[in-house]
Amino acid sequence: MNENDLLNTTVAWKPQPGPQTLAIQCPATELMIGGAVGGGKTDFLLGDFGRDIPIGPGWQGIYFRRYFPDMDRVIQRSKEIFAPIYGIKCYSESKYKWNFPNGATLRFRALEKDKDVLKYQGQDYSWIGFDELTQWASEYAYSYLFSFRLRSAKTSNLTGEPIKVRMRCSSNPGGPGMSWVKARFLDPMPHGTGLHVKTQKTSYWRVFIPSKLEDNKILMENNPEYADRIMEFTDQTLAKAMRHGDWDSIPNAAFSEFDKLVHVVDPAPIPTDRPTWRSMDWGFKTPYCNLHIFSSNDGDIIVGNEIYGWSGKPNVGTEEFADEVYSKINRYEKANNLYVPMGYLDTQCWEDKGKRGGSIYDDLCGPPGDRLVWRPWKKGPNSRVLQAQGLHDLMKVTNGRSRLKIMRNCTHLIRTLPLLPVSKLNIEDVDTDAEDHAYDALRGGLAKRMPTRQQIQQRHINRQIREMEYMSPSELQYGGS
């Protein structure tokens, strides 16, 4: 079978009008199609690769899901599309790979961990696809393959010209990687427009194309009740995100009660006369986060300052050493005349660093004579779950107010807390693959210092007693003015 035969054979699939056609025709190097469930995203990925199979041996593709069991439906759909044209014998069940008659290939693979990308060192792919991109908590695997493995030195059998490589991905809102996916594909550009990415010697286009359930005419005609069934789901936030492809709603959010209008307040100096403490989640490759927290006269907990070590990319740290971070914290406290008698750290910071000697804890304490005091977070059975429940209780909104306040200058806590998804393994905990560093610093610090309801009630009683001591007999008789 030659290339002309391939072009004139049976048509097993063609893009539907709308997002699928726009995405198929888009010449951008990097493209994501995404939004509502049922928008035809998987079909787009297979069709986008399939349209250039006639290029020949230079057309080498690889299709990724995070977990391989999720690939079953994709492989079955690929057989429905490619087998009528090329024959089912072109697919290897043992290698999960299509070997097309003219030398083009498509592999199906899983990338469960970031380090799995090392399996592809030295390999070249002219087409790379990522299905459900937000399932990858970190940008590392996607960025590694885009930067190093998306390349081709071959020419097309059809035109004789160099092959134009491309990266294609799809996703619904939600998942542990929603933060970095939004930052890469949605936040820099309006929907359906492109971002012109300029490098030192060249440039390329990055495009996001939204797709919705209504765009999949075939599914809507075959299953007209599907849209209504989506909206019957118990979690209405998730239902709306999946139904309408809304990336601004937070599906499956661990802290759905978070409301910027209630929980976020304008910045103000941390009072020097209020109990203040710090809490840190340490990170080197991933961000570290140090929070300064204090309690108000009414028993509210206020997060007043944040020092967040990130590279400018979600979930990527600055690789600063602990003694450098100590200096930042120490300078801030001195500059703001704060007395912070205690800080709290993850117990892992006490572990020895090996050849370098000492520990992260030692470096965060600083030199003799100018030391910061730290104690370990609470550890024990279900400690994460109990701390999450304590935070839920603190964030609860009653009569338009909450006991937790976060100053607006704590930008990364505000950015990441509402995006944290619920863990798939334990619905009482957050997904630890997500960017949870500011959350960990918050829960760790609150677990040590958060006053109980009984303590708050006692504070109110004590304050009322103090006020009564200054009331006149007439005010006491009539209950005060």
Q: How many other CB atoms are found less than 10 A from the CB of residue 208?
A: 29
pLDDT at 326: 96
The residue assigned the tokens 């009322």 is 464
Please list, residue by residue across 308-328, b when 16 or more beta carbons sit within 10 angstroms of its beta carbon and e when fewer do: bbbeebbbbbbeeebeebbee
Tokens of 102: 């003219």
Contact yes or no for 328/289 (Cβ under 8 A): no
Flag residues of the chain having pLDDT under 50. Answer: 1-8, 451-453, 456, 470-481
Give me the sheet containing 166-171, strands edge to edge: 91-92, 97-99, 105-110, 60-65, 127-130, 166-171, 30-35, 203-211, 194-198
- DSSP strand pairing (301-309 vs 288-295): antiparallel
pLDDT at 478: 36
Question: 395-405, pLDDT tens digit by residue?
Answer: 998 888 899 99
The residue assigned the tokens 């003694």 is 323
How far apart are alpha carbons 163 and 165 in whole angstroms?
6
How far apart are alpha carbons 237 and 92 in whole angstroms?
41
Residues in the chain: 481
Tokens of 449: 């210092």
pLDDT at 247: 72
Question: 305-322, pLDDT tens digit by residue?
Answer: 999 999 888 888 999 999
Is the pTM of the predicted complex or chain greater than 0.75?
no
- DSSP strand pairing (203-211 vs 194-198): antiparallel
How high does pLDDT run on average in the chain?
84
Cα 99 to Cα 76, 94, 105, 240: the distances in Å are 16, 12, 5, 40
How far apart are alpha carbons 297 and 135 in whole angstroms?
43
How far apart are alpha carbons 347 and 164 in whole angstroms?
50
pLDDT at 233: 66
Provide the residue type at 467 as one letter: E
